Structures are given as structure tokens and as C-alpha cells.
Amino acid sequence: MKLKLLVFDVDHEVKEGVVRLFCKDEKGNTILVLDRTFEPYFYVEPKEGKLEEYKKKLLSFNFKEGKIKRVEEVEKEYFGKKKKLLKIVVEKPRDIYYIREEVKEWPENLEEYEYTISFYQRYLIDKQIKPMAWIEVEGEEIKSEVQVEKTIEASEVKPIEGESETSFKVLAFDIEVAEEKNEERVIMISLVDNKGFKKVLTTWKREEALNYI
């Protein structure tokens, strides 16, 4: 199935390496999109003349933790200067940290790049997906324990142009704090949503004075 969705939040599951896109469809339904197709990676810069030697060492080295899936030769530009780098594609997002910690001490190594970018941010950058923008998702509906109208296991996710509107449930809250006996405590919480809901939670007994400001 193909769906047109608006992305309003994104995160990832560290252990599984799954990107989770929380979306709305044009009817206002909340849709969770799971994308397992994206691979975590970072870059290393070997010393001049050490590219092939370094690549072979990476693929044959027995790391304490983490697993390399493959190594690719690439050319990147940093601060206006082109560099020949190795792109290290790993199995899980956490593997970037483990492998980088070891290779940064190798004598053939000059520098590592883009290892601090979180997995879901790397996903958004590479896919060119912007928050609160529309995407097209192709995949299959699956069962999920997350409380959403539908969960999609994605086979393809791509950004699209879109100006359609959708509806959101919005809740605003205000917390009032008072100091008693040199300690601060919450005395009132006011809640208002965009559907007409209003409520005050308080320990103060003068109910006639309550408002939502």
C-alpha cells in the first residue's frame, strides 16, 4: 500500500536499528511508520597511501564489540577541501561508537567524521525529510503495541511536495508552584486542548478563583 503522510515526530530503537516516523494522514489519523532499511555508518580518513591497506584491515579486524557490514571508498568535501574517505557501514547504530573507539587509536588513521550524528537524524538528512513535511510511504500494515490507528512496515519512504492540511490534538498546560517551608511544590496544573477540554488540578480549595490563564 502507498500512503501520503505528514511527519510530526521521529526517533529510533537503538537495539534494533529501526527508525520510527510518527505521522498524520489527511484525515487526522495517527500512523506509525517503521523503517528497517536504513543502515548506520560513519567515515574515517586513512593516511595518504593507506586507503586499500586500511580497508582490508577494517574488514578482517576482530573488533571487541560491533560488526562492520561493508566498507566503501568515497570522496567528501569538508571546509572546501576534498578528501578520500572510507565509509564504514555497520550493523547496528551502537556499533558506530564501539568501532570508532578502536579505530581512532590505529596508527594508519588520521580522523573520523560524522560519528556523532544520531541514527534518526542521519536518516532524515540522507532521505531529505523535513519535520512537518509530507512523505510517501510504501509498505505493509502490521500489528503493533503502540497506540496508533495504523502501523506500517515500510519498504520505501521518500519526501514529496504537499500542502494538504490535517488535524492535530493539541494540549496546553500551565504549572503553578509555591514555596512552603523552604521547599517548592506544585499547587496547580491547568489543562486546555483545542477541542474544548478544560481542567484544573489543584491542592488549593478556593475553587471560585480558578481560571486557565
Same structural domain for residues 110 and 46?
A: yes
Same structural domain for residues 31 and 59?
A: no
The confidence score (pLDDT) of residue 207 equals 53
**57 assigned to some structural domain:** yes
The DSSP symbol for 209 reads G
Q: How far is CA 95 from the centre of its chain?
A: 17
Residue 211 has pLDDT above 90, yes or no: no
**155 assigned to some structural domain:** yes
pLDDT tens for residues 148-169? 999 999 999 999 987 667 777 7
Same structural domain for residues 92 and 51?
A: yes
**pTM of the predicted structure, to 2 decimals:** 0.79
pLDDT tens for residues 39-57? 999 999 999 999 999 999 9
Answer left, alpha or beta for residue 28, where phi above 0 means left and psi between -120 and 50 means alpha. left
The confidence score (pLDDT) of residue 206 equals 57
Same structural domain for residues 109 and 127?
A: no
- Cβ neighbours, 10 Å, residue 24: 20
**Residue 179 belongs to what domain range?**
171-209
pLDDT-derived band at 204, boundaries 50, 70, 90? low
Cβ(12)–Cβ(120) below 8 Å:
yes
Cell of 10: 521521529
Which own/partner pairs from 28-31 qualify as long-range (CB within 8 Å, at least 24 positions apart)? 28/166, 28/167, 28/168, 29/149, 29/150, 30/148, 30/149, 31/3, 31/5, 31/148, 31/149, 31/150, 31/151, 31/152
First to last CA, the chain: 46
Residue 209 has pLDDT above 70, yes or no: no
Total domains in the fold of the chain: 3
**165 assigned to some structural domain:** no
Same structural domain for residues 45 and 99?
A: yes
